[in-house]
Amino acid sequence: MKEKEAFMREAIRLSLENMRAGKGGPFGAVVVRNGEIIARGFNQVTSSNDPTAHAEVVAIREACKVLGTFQLDDCEIYTSCEPCPMCLGAIYWARPKKIYYANTKKDAADIGFDDQFIYEEIEIPLEDRKLSCEQLLPEEAIEAFREWQSKQDKIEY
Q: Residue 79 CB: number of other CB atoms within 10 A?
A: 28
Active site residue 17: no
Distance CA 15, CA 105 (A): 15
Which of the residues 36, 56, 134, 143 is marked catalytic?
56
Catalytic residues: 56
